[in-house]
Amino acid sequence: MYEYTIILQPDREEGGYVVTVPALPGCVTEGDTVEEAIANAEEAIAGYIESLKLAGEPIPEETVPPRIAKVRVAA
């Protein structure tokens, strides 16, 4: 069993949410609702892990969750 942090970002143009998995580069999905986005993320992560297994690649483990911070910059 693997556990990963996912990031859900509102898609202002299309609606719904875009989901990324920081520990799995390129693992991105979406959903119209938070619930759908999370379910789709679970499927995307399972597929990502399966493709790594088939390729004989190591499966990344998230040992330290990513941090999210806000910064202000003058523009």
CA geometry: angle 34, 61, 16, nearest 5 deg: 15
Kindly list the structural domains of the chain, giving each domain's residue range(s) and its CATH number in brackets, ordered by start.
Answer: 1-75 (3.30.160.250)
For the chain, the three-class secondary structure string (H helix, E strand, C coil) is: CCCCCCEEEECCCCCCEEEECCCCCCCEEEECCHHHHHHHHHHHHHHHHHHHHHHCCCCCCCCCCCCCCCCCCCC
Q: Write the pLDDT tens digit of every residue in 46-57.
A: 999 999 999 999
Q: Write the pLDDT tens digit of every residue in 12-41.
A: 999 999 999 999 999 999 999 999 999 999
Answer whether 0.85 is exceeded by the pTM.
yes
